[in-house]
Structure 1
Amino acid sequence: MSGTVERIETLLRDAFDPASLHIDDESALHAGHAGARDGGGHYRVDIVAEAFAGKNTVARHRMIYTALGELMPKAIHALAIRASAPDEL
């Protein structure tokens, strides 16, 4: 697991205490892309947490971006998010 993936995991676990969390580093799929050349990676996050209950997609994404703020945009160039509440599964 890369250092950035570990940091993403730590920040999201601390912020949301998720029931489940899966992070994929898709940076290799974007080799040569401008953001990848500058060191920023491409990541996919699938997170389930009670904190997302009653929130719409935009609010959930904002919550995640806030939690990961220190990594944006240097360590994270692109982030795909699937955020759900436990009762939505």
Structure 2
Amino acid sequence: MSIQSDIEEKLLAQLSVEHLEVVNESHMHNVPANSETHFKVTAISNDFNGKRSVARHQMIYKVVAEELAGPVHALALHTYTPDEWQQREALAPESPDCLGGSKADR
């Protein structure tokens, strides 16, 4: 099973989400082909009601701690309540281009 699938399954099992999108953005970074190291997670849940961004992110980090301790290098989180998501017109921010580079490029 892929790391992306593992993340999706764990979040679906541990959070009551109305919408979940996990996108592998590794190809946008300086990593080998077919890597699973950089992910963007968009999660919409009533579990986030009354919680600040940091608390919402901590909820996600707790669920995917194993992946963050191992193969996952970066996790971009976009967490919203259903009302916030509706106000955003169901759009998460686009990820910026990677500005990093290889040590060989220096």
TM-score class, shorter-chain normalisation, is 0.7 to 0.9
Q: Which runs of 5+ in 1 are unaligned?
A: none
**Correspondence 1:21 to 2:20:** yes
Runs of 4+ in 1 over 3 A off after TM superposition: none
Higher helix share: 1
Rounded to whole Å, the distance in 2 between the matches of 1:4 and 1:18 is 19
Which structure would you say has the larger Rg?
2
2:51 aligned with 1:52: no
What stretches of structure 2 of length at least 5 have no aligned partner?
Answer: 87-106
Q: CA deviation at 1:78?
A: 0.1
Q: Deviations over 1:6-62 (max 9, x none)?
A: 000001001112100011101111124xxx7xx760000001011101100000000
Q: How many residues align?
A: 83
* 1:41 corresponds to: 37
The alignment's TM-score, normalised by the length of structure 2, stands at 0.72
Change (3 A) 1:44 1:9: same
Q: Which has the higher contact order (CA 8 A, sep 6+)?
A: 1
Query: Sequence identity, in percent?
Result: 33
Greater fraction strand: 1
